[in-house]
């Protein structure tokens, strides 16, 4: 497993865990930190998107380098 794959798995696992924690916090306290939620999802979502773009462009460049 490459480092890129491990980071994507970590990011998605963190987002799922964070979402569950925020649901529990909302159920207990009745309020949510909307700015924190927005920033966390934007940061990790952007990281996953950039990792996906890196993977796509590496796959497109791969065969051309060897020909």
Domain count, the chain: 1
Q: Provide the pLDDT for residue 65.
A: 55
- Is residue 51 a contact partner of residue 4, using CB atoms and an 8 Å limit? yes
What pLDDT, in 10s, does the model give residues 10-62? 999 999 999 999 999 999 999 989 999 999 999 998 998 898 888 888 877 65
Q: Does pLDDT of 66 surpass 50? A: no
Range of the domain at 57: 3-66
- Give the side-chain half-sphere CA count within 13 A for 2: 6
Q: Provide the pLDDT for residue 63.
A: 56
Question: Alpha-carbon distance 43 to 65, whole Å?
Answer: 32
């Amino acid at each position: 497993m490459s480092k890129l794959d491990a980071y994507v798995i970590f990011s998605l696992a963190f987002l799922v865990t964070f979402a569950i924690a925020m649901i529990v916090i909302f159920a207990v306290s009745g309020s949510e930190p909307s700015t924190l939620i927005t920033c966390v999802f934007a940061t990790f979502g952007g990281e996953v998107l950039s990792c996906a773009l890196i993977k796509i462009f590496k796959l497109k460049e791969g065969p051309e380098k060897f020909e």
